[in-house]
Structure 1
C-alpha cells in the first residue's frame, strides 16, 4: 500500500472505522513504534478493544475534515 498523498481526497467509503497500529503504520509509511508513540501520547484518536489499542480512523478523518492539520501530544487524551 502506498503512503497517503495529503492533496488527495480520502474515499471514506473504503476506510475501516478502526485500524491496528501495524496496518496504520503501513498505510502511512511509518513504523509501528511511531504509531504506538502517537497513541501513548494521545496524539491521534484511538480506542481500546480488549487489551489492544486501535487507531480510531473515523475520529481522525472527522478531525481532518474539520480542518485539523497539526496533531500534537494530548490532542486526544479523552479518546478512550
Structure 2
C-alpha cells in the first residue's frame, strides 16, 4: 500500500528527531505526498492515527513499527 521509498523516507526522518505524532496534512507535506492520498490512507486505516479534539494526528512511532513488521 505505502510505497517502499516513502517507508525509507519516514524512517530516515524519524531518526532525525521528529515528534511521535503529526497532523495528517503536515505528514503529507513531510513525505511529499498529496493531501488527498494521505486522507484516503487515514480513511481506509492504512496508517495509524488518533483523533484529539478536531485534529487527526498520524502516529509516526506506530507507523514505523507497522512498516518494520511488514518487511519481515
1:8-47 to 2 correspondences below 5 Å: 10=12, 11-12=14-15, 14-47=17-50
Alignment TM-score, normalising by the size of structure 1: 0.65
Show CA shifts across 1:9-50 (max 9, x none): 535361211111111111111111111111011010000111
Bigger share in helix:
2
Question: For residue 6 of structure 1, what is the aligned residue in structure 2?
Answer: 8
What SS is found at the alignment partner of 1:14?
coil
Mind listing any 5+ residue stretches in structure 2 that lack a counterpart?
none
Asked if 2 retains the 8 angstrom alpha-carbon contact of 1:4 and 1:27, the reply is no
RMSD: 2.6
Greater than 6 Å deviation, 4+ residue runs = none
Alignment TM-score, normalising by the size of structure 2: 0.71
Determine which structure has more spread, i.e. the larger CA radius of gyration: 1
